[in-house]
Amino acid sequence: MSMIEYPGTFWKDYELIDCGEGEKLERYGSYCMARPEPKALWNKTLPAAEWDRMIHTRFTPGAGFGKAGKEDVGSWSRNRKMDDQWYIRYDGAQKGLGFTLRLGLTSFKHVGVFPEQASNWEYIYRETSALVSQAREKGAAMPRVLNLFAYTGAATLAAKAAGADVTHLDSVRQVVNWAHGNMENSRMDGIRWVVEDAMKFARREAKRGNVYQGIILDPPAYGHGPDGEKWKLDECLFDMLKTVSQILAPKDSFMVLNLYSNGYSPLLGETTVKEAFRLRDGYEMESGELALRDRYGKALPLSIYVRLKR
């Protein structure tokens, strides 16, 4: 059954305050901001004057923003004084799950974290912790977790906090450096950093016979590898999942797939995973939507997830 999951209300450093009319009003730590949100089709609850009173900054997209799944650069206009970079903390629902994230205003409206992913962080930490416990009981090596399209590394830190041997991969060096800083600010170490095209890396690992007990994928709709390799989700996802099926351990393992592309449903995600892995039995699967809820009860769906456990 498809589920809808929201970040826990215990997370004090993030809040979706209001959303509607193509925008969302959020608080990250001490700062409030307004950003475009095409999925917010309804009216705002708060009047425009209240938004203007609350926000420190607002993002204005460039011409053509959102067309064909691509984002043009835009600009931030500041209403109130704020730092260019600041930090927030995530201390999860489970003991031991916690990390620090540096945030900043980027030219693509992002700030360095996708807060709706908190439910995935909780799942990754729980499943990785169980694998770590099994390994310790057996006196075996710690489970290996691979985070592909890993961005600034919140999911990486969730796996590392559980005690895994973690590999973090992204095609953009500046983003990997950002993630490395998040590791240091979270007082962790020992993560393996890779700047490479995700498909190339996964195929090479398959050829080498390397396997992982956990694999996390959060692919974009469009992207480019460091050497100009092209990624288009509709064309590449199935092949990527077939390759991942070769490097995910056949038992005592898990995979998390997150998809932001408009038009993708949890059922589509489940079917794609089942066919790529040729699954027939011996597995557990769950899927659903990740969403945020504002102060006034409006639910904003943002991505779909598929979680596989064997």
**Token duo for residue 202:** 């996964």
- The pLDDT, as a whole number, for residue 92 is 97
Residue 182: name the closest of 198, 158, 149, 165 by CA.
158
For position 263, what pLDDT does the model report? Answer: 82
CA distance 148 to 263: 22
- Topology of domain 115-309, CATH: Rossmann fold (3.40.50)
> Within 13 A of 57's CA, how many CA atoms are on the CB side?
21
Phi-psi region of 64 (alpha: psi -120 to 50; beta: other; left: phi over 0): left
pLDDT single digits (tens) 207-224: 999 999 999 999 988 888
Where do the domains of the chain lie?
Answer: 3-104, 115-309
Cα 209 → chain centroid: 27
Strands (E), the chain: 3-5, 14-20, 23-28, 31-36, 57-60, 75-78, 85-91, 98-104, 144-148, 165-170, 192-195, 214-217, 222-224, 230-232, 254-259, 284-293, 299-309
Q: Which residues pair with 224 in a beta bridge?
A: 230
Query: Contact at 8 Å (CB) between 118 and 89?
Result: no
Give me the pLDDT at residue 69, please. Answer: 45
Pick the CATH number of 3-104 from 3.40.50.300, 3.30.70.270, 2.60.40.1180, 2.130.10.10: 2.60.40.1180
pLDDT for 297: 97
State the DSSP string of 4-53. Answer: EE---TT-TTEEEEEEETTEEEEEETTEEEEEE-TT--S--SS-HHHHHH
pLDDT in tens, 25-68: 999 999 999 999 999 999 999 999 999 999 999 999 886 544 44
Residues linked to residue 147 through DSSP beta bridges, in sequence order: 168, 216
- Full pLDDT tens readout for the chain, 310 residues: 569 999 999 999 999 999 999 999 999 999 999 999 999 999 999 999 999 999 999 999 886 544 444 556 889 999 999 999 999 999 999 999 999 999 999 988 899 999 999 999 999 999 999 999 999 999 999 999 999 999 999 999 999 999 999 999 999 999 999 999 999 999 999 999 999 999 999 999 999 999 999 999 999 888 888 888 889 999 999 999 999 999 999 999 999 999 997 789 999 999 999 999 999 888 999 999 999 999 999 999 999 999 999 9
Residue 97, pLDDT score: 98
Residue 9, Cβ neighbours under 10 Å: how many? Answer: 8
pTM of the predicted protein model: 0.94
